[in-house]
């Protein structure tokens, strides 16, 4: 193992120890930033998929949430160190026995049913969840998430 990798592992271990003693406002802020990062990634994936389908992603107004989230992250400014710290702070908060992800996937499945015929959604009024279900029906069908 290289010296750099050892240093990074040691640094992450210290962050994990600090994360256990993290105050609620810091934990809440870390979750907020993680949510904003996820929104940015989801919107980018939807925008790319709509373009590949020959649809104009600028018509999908809910994708503006991705731009707003990106602007918010840029104002912090977001960095690799902050992402690593947020991951360490929230690492123990993620696992709920997959109950939350099951609920989300069930809701996504209900939204995906009318879109299985590949008819175009009303891009102007479609929610992010509806756009995701339209763009990624294969992910919904197998009950997985985009990696």
- pLDDT tens for each residue of 108-145: 667 666 666 667 788 999 888 888 888 887 766 555 55
Q: Does residue 116 sit within a domain?
A: yes
Q: Does residue 147 sit within a domain?
A: no
Its pTM surpasses 0.75: no
Please tell me the total count of domains within the chain: 1
Predicted pLDDT at 146: 44
| Interior/surface letters 73-96, b for 16+ CB within 10 angstroms, e for the rest | beeeebeeeeeebbbbbbeeeeee
Q: Does residue 59 sit within a domain?
A: yes
Strand ranges, E, within 32-74:
none
Predicted pLDDT at 133: 83
Q: Does residue 90 sit within a domain?
A: yes
pLDDT tens digits for 2-45? 666 666 776 777 666 665 666 888 888 999 999 999 999 999 99
pLDDT tens digits for 67-108? 999 999 999 989 999 999 998 888 776 555 455 556 666 766
Q: Does residue 102 sit within a domain?
A: yes
Provide, for the chain, the percentages of residues in helix, strand and coil under a 3-state DSSP scheme, each rounded to the nearest 5: 75, 0, 25
Which residue range(s) make up the domain with 98?
3-142
Predicted pLDDT at 26: 86
In the predicted structure, residue 50 carries a pLDDT above the cut 90 = yes
């Amino acid at each position: 193992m290289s010296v750099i990798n050892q240093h990074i592992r040691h640094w992450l271990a210290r962050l994990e120890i600090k994360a256990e003693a993290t105050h609620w406002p810091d934990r809440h802020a870390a979750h907020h930033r993680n949510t904003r990062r996820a929104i940015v990634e989801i919107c980018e994936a939807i925008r790319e998929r709509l373009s590949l389908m020959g649809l104009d992603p600028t018509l999908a107004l809910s994708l503006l949430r991705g731009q707003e989230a990106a602007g918010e992250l840029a104002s912090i400014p977001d960095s690799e160190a902050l992402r690593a710290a947020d991951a360490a702070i929230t690492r123990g908060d993620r696992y709920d026995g997959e109950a939350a992800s099951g609920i989300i996937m069930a809701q996504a499945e209900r939204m995906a049913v009318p879109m299985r015929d590949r008819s175009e959604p009303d891009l102007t009024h479609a929610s992010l969840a509806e756009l995701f279900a339209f763009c990624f029906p294969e992910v919904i069908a197998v009950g997985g998430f985009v990696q």
